[in-house]
Structure 1
Amino acid sequence: MNILITGGTGLIGRALVAKLQDVHDITVLTRQTANAQRTLGPKVAFINKLDAISDIGEFQAIINLAGEPIADKRWTSHQKQKICDSRWDITSSLVAKVNSSERPPAVFLSGSAIGFYGQKGAEEVTEDTPPHDEFTHQLCKKWEAIAFTAQSNVTRVCTLRTGVVLTAKGGALEKMALPFKLGLGGKLGSGEQYLSWIHINDMVNAIVFALENPSCKGAINMTAPEPVTNKVFSHALAKALSRPCLFTVPAFVMKVLMGESANMILDGQKVIPAKLTTAGFQFSFPTLEAALDDIYR
């Protein structure tokens, strides 16, 4: 297939391009083409603006992963708007291109996050679970609603409700592992909140599965089948790093350091990949121990 990818230089995008580039023709939309070429290599084509595409029908698939990192900065009003605009604007532009094409792409996979569900405590969450209304839900609800306006009898749309992606370099795990490597690791807040995670290899393979499997439609939870509490995660991470797990970071400290965005970490969600499992997707790393062993061995 000829595939257009946005967010191709991000954590997931880099791994996805590496997986697809030997099988498909990949074009990455990026404002920094020189840097992207150094990162992704010579097999990938690049464009620096969407207007460079006269007819998006030249692509059989679009994978939209672009967006401002959600937890890197405090959620000021300005930062919240930046987070929203970075997702809504590019998705709207892609959808407009799809809907104006006489032969639109067959598949449109668009990013989303398990933040769609908001605070759910220890409740088991599937794609059908009603959400709790808060900022992350409002962000993802509109993001997905925009994407689904590209859906037609020609174009199949999936939104990828992604959990915490675990990989050796970059992403949340690198930040979470640092205190443990310094011997200062421990649980966050009560430690009873759930963390819904997925190994980077399973994340990429699940995207490819959704790309190639016509039965995959609508919202899909991109998480491993065994979410764990923060306490369990912290002890497993400490064991994988051969470090102690002795400390607790109180909830109020997290809120002082991170502001409102700390709620994502302190509340958590127990998200189950019901659609992937039903469709027959096989996880290479269904358990946290297996995932961390692969990353740190």
Structure 2
Amino acid sequence: MSHMHGEEDGEADDRTAARTPLPAGSRVVVAGASGLIGSALTRSLTADGHEVVRLVRRAPRGPGEVRWDPEAGRVDTAGLVGCAALVNLAGAGVASRRWTEAYRERIRNSRVLGTRTLAEAVAALDEPPSVFVNGSAIGYYGWTGDRAVDESAAPGEGFLPSLVVEWEAATSAAREAGVRTVFARTGLVVARGGGAWGPLFPLFTAGLGGRMGDGSQYWSFISLYDEVAALRHLIGTPSLSGPVNLTAPAPLTNREITAAMGRVLHRPTLFTVPASVLRLVLGGLSGDVLGSTRALPTRLLESGFTFQYPEIEEAVRAALR
């Protein structure tokens, strides 16, 4: 998919040259470093010799930790001094429990208030980081059915789209201070350790996997490896700001993904989970599982990013390794 962008004319070389990898030993501040994506990103940066500073809600246990209270609007700004990049992946888990009214409020506050806290802290620094990568979600687009959308599309209707609009707007202090700000609109991350995909692996391994509802809904997936590589690409690509979809190039229907999971795990996928059962078990999240968002990574590909695992079977195999 990425080689459709005319590499014969030398354009690719320019795009690759436009990347400025982090100087060796750079300080990167990560909020949400203990989560699925945050811990993988932290491992990747540390392995390359960068210094990762984790934002924590408890008393720091060492020099690599800085305290913050996202909802009270407090962060120890001294710990942010000298950082080259700030990556915010913090927020109450969207997939972790039923969406009661109270939990919706918690999801909202943890993302919107936490983002505002960091944006204001960054704006107050004498020497702010060169980039603020703020986690976001393809939930922005809402239900698109089989219509493909990219970053040029308008927000959808409902709780998640309105949440994402507010969440991205909460970065305004950083943007107004001239900090390059990127919204990493992540899709469904294919990983065993958590996220939307975590519960699917044991289910399919037990031979209980199957399509959900009628299976026609699109799932915009991305392997955990590509998610981390894409976040690092956002940090290192000065031309990128605003929304960038972090999803593999070819989203698939739930039916196609179910079949691929069955093939890789060598298990039958005969079960069908009726929509009514999913609504009962998942509450508000059932909209995500039954809803259809067909998001394309237009800006990521145009900026020269190459996917390591663009196909679902490769992504599932990578998650099993």
| Global fold match (TM > 0.5) | yes
Give the % identical residues: 35
* Deviation of the 1:102 alpha carbon: 2.5
Alignment of 1:191 with 2:215, yes or no, is yes
Partner in structure 2 of residue 4 of structure 1: 29
Partner in structure 2 of residue 75 of structure 1: 99
Residue identity in the other structure for 2:45? L
* Deviation of the 1:51 alpha carbon: 3.5
Q: Is the 8 A contact 1:75 1:261 kept in 2?
A: yes
Partner in structure 2 of residue 29 of structure 1: 55
Residue identity in the other structure for 2:41? L
Partner in structure 2 of residue 104 of structure 1: 128
Alignment of 1:291 with 2:315, yes or no, is yes
* Deviation of the 1:250 alpha carbon: 0.7
Residue identity in the other structure for 1:46? E
* Deviation of the 1:216 alpha carbon: 1.1
Deviations for 1:90-145, whole angstroms, at most 9, x for unmatched residues?
11111111222232211000010000111111110100112222100111100001
Partner in structure 2 of residue 176 of structure 1: 200
Deviations for 1:202-226, whole angstroms, at most 9, x for unmatched residues?
0000010110110111100000101
Deviations for 1:200-249, whole angstroms, at most 9, x for unmatched residues?
11000001011011011110000010110000000100111110010111
Partner in structure 1 of residue 245 of structure 2: 221
Q: TM-score, normalised by structure 1?
A: 0.93
* Deviation of the 1:63 alpha carbon: 0.4
Q: Is the 8 A contact 2:249 2:310 kept in 1?
A: yes
* Deviation of the 1:152 alpha carbon: 4.3
* Deviation of the 1:285 alpha carbon: 0.5
Name the SS for the 1:120 alignment partner. Answer: coil
> Residues 148 and 223 (structure 1 numbering): CA distance in 2 closer, same or farther, change over 3 Å?
farther
Matches within 5 A, 1:40-55: 45-49=64-68, 51-54=75-78
Residue identity in the other structure for 1:23? G
Partner in structure 2 of residue 274 of structure 1: 298
| Alignment partners' CA distance in 2, 1:33 and 1:17 | 20
Matches within 5 A, 1:77-96: 77-96=101-120
Q: More helix by proportion, 1 or 2?
A: 1
Partner in structure 1 of residue 273 of structure 2: 249
Name the SS for the 2:196 alignment partner. Answer: helix
Superposed CA RMSD in Å reads 1.8
| Alignment partners' CA distance in 2, 1:32 and 1:241 | 40
Deviations for 1:12-64, whole angstroms, at most 9, x for unmatched residues?
00100001013322100012568xx7xxxx9x701222543237442221100
| Alignment partners' CA distance in 2, 1:92 and 1:71 | 23
| Alignment partners' CA distance in 1, 2:255 and 2:270 | 11
Matches within 5 A, 1:94-243: 94-152=118-176, 154-243=178-267
User: How many correspondences in the alignment?
Assistant: 290
Q: TM-score, normalised by structure 2?
A: 0.86
Partner in structure 1 of residue 89 of structure 2: 65
Segments of 5+ residues of structure 2 without an aligned counterpart are: 1-25, 69-73
Name the SS for the 1:4 alignment partner. Answer: strand
| Alignment partners' CA distance in 1, 2:293 and 2:165 | 17
Q: Is the 8 A contact 2:88 2:134 kept in 1?
A: yes
| Alignment partners' CA distance in 2, 1:176 and 1:55 | 38
